[in-house]
Chains A and B, each alone.
Chain A
Amino acid sequence: MLLELNNIFKWVNQGGNRVFLLKDLNLEVEEGEFISIMGPSGSGKSTLLNVIGMLDGFQEGEYKFLDESVHAMKEKNRSKLYKEYIGFVFQAYHLIDELTVYENIETPLLYKNIKSAERKALVADMLDRFNIVGKKDLFPAQLSGGQQQLVGIARALVAKPKLILADEPTGNLNSNQGEEIMQLFKELNQEGVTIIQATHSETNAAYGSRTLHLLDGRRDHK
Chain B
Amino acid sequence: MIRNHFKIALRYLFKNKLYSILNIVGLALGIAAFVIITLYVGYERSYDKFEGSDEVFRVYMDYAEGGNFVPGDAQTYNLSGPTLKKEFPEIIEQVRLYRLEKVTFVNGEKIIQQPNGSLADASYFKIFDHPLIEGNLSDFEKPNTIILTKTLAKKLFGKKQVLGKSLEVFDGNGIRLEIVGIINDIAQNTHYKTNFLISYPTMNTWDMGNNAKPNWSGNNFFTYLKVAPGIDKIALRKKIMMSDFEQDPDERHNIEAISDIHLHSDKPFEAETNGSLSRVRFLSAIGFIILILSWLNYVNLATAKSMERSKEVGIRKVAGAQRSQLIVQSLGESLLLNLFAVALAIGLAYVLLPLFNNFVGKELVLGLSNLGIILPYLAFILLGTLVSGLYPAMVISGFSPIRALKGKVVASRGGVNIRKGLIGVQFFATVVLIIGTLVVSQQISFLGEQPLGVDLSQLVALKGELLSNENDSITRQKSVVLESELSQLPFVKGVTQAKTYPGDGYDNLSSNVGITYPDGTSNERLLFYLYGAQPNYFEVLGIDFLAGKTYLRKNPGVHNFDIVINETFARIMGFTDMSEIIGKNVKFWDETWTVTGVFEDYHHFGLKSKIEPMFIGDINWAFGTGLQNVLVKMDATGLSLSVMDKNLDQIQQKWKTIFPQSTLDYTFLDKKFEAQYKEDTKFGAAFQLFTGLAIFIAGLGLFGLTSYTILQRKKEIGIRKVSGASVLQILTLLNRDFLKLVTISFILAAPIAWYVMNQWLQEFAYQTRLNWWVFALAGIAAFLVAIISVSFQAIKAAIANPVKSLRTE
Contact = CB atoms under 8 A, between A and B. Distances in A.
Contacts of B15: 97-98
Given A96-B312, A111-B319, A103 B4 contact: yes
Given A94-B315, A96-B315, A79 B322 contact: yes
A55 B318 contact: yes
Nearest to A165: B318
A170 B7 CA distance: 31
Interface in A81-123: 82-83, 88, 90, 92, 94-99, 103, 106-108, 110-112
A55 B405 CA distance: 11
A97 B308 CA distance: 12
A102 to B, nearest CB: 11
Nearest to B405: A94
Contacts of B311: 94, 96
B4 A55 contact: no
A108 B320 contact: yes
Interface residues of B, number: 21
A155 B318 CA distance: 11
Interface residues of A, number: 26
Given A98-B15, A99-B8, A106-B4, A50 B318 contact: no
B314 A110 contact: no
Interface string B305-319: 000000110111011
Q: Which of B11, B314, B319 is the most central at the interface, judged by chain A CB atoms within 10 Å of its CB?
A: B319
B401 A103 contact: no
B319 A107 contact: yes
B1 interface: yes
Contacts of A111: 316, 319-322, 325
Given A98-B15, A111-B320, A90 B4 contact: no
Nearest to B15: A98
Contacts of B312: 96-98
A99 B309 CA distance: 13
Interface in B375-429: 401-402, 405
Interface string B283-324: 000000000000000000000000000011011101111100
A56 to B, nearest CB: 6
Classify the secondary structure of B's interface with A: helix
A98 B12 contact: yes
Given A96-B315, A98-B12, A90 B320 contact: no
Contacts of A83: 320
A155 B405 contact: no
A156 to B, nearest CB: 9
Contacts of A107: 4, 315-316, 319
A88 B4 contact: no
A104 B401 CA distance: 17
A196 to B, nearest CB: 15
A23 B38 CA distance: 66
A50 B316 contact: no
Interface in A37-58: 50, 53, 55-56
A103 B314 contact: no
Closest 4 CB pairs of A and B: A83-B320, A111-B320, A108-B319, A98-B11
Given A94-B318, A96-B312, A98-B12, 12 more contacts: A83-B320, A92-B405, A96-B8, A97-B312, A98-B8, A99-B11, A103-B8, A107-B316, A108-B319, A111-B316, A111-B320, A111-B321
19 contacts: A50-B402, A55-B401, A56-B402, A88-B318, A90-B405, A92-B405, A94-B318, A97-B15, A98-B11, A98-B12, A99-B4, A99-B8, A103-B4, A107-B319, A110-B1, A111-B320, A111-B321, A111-B322, A111-B325
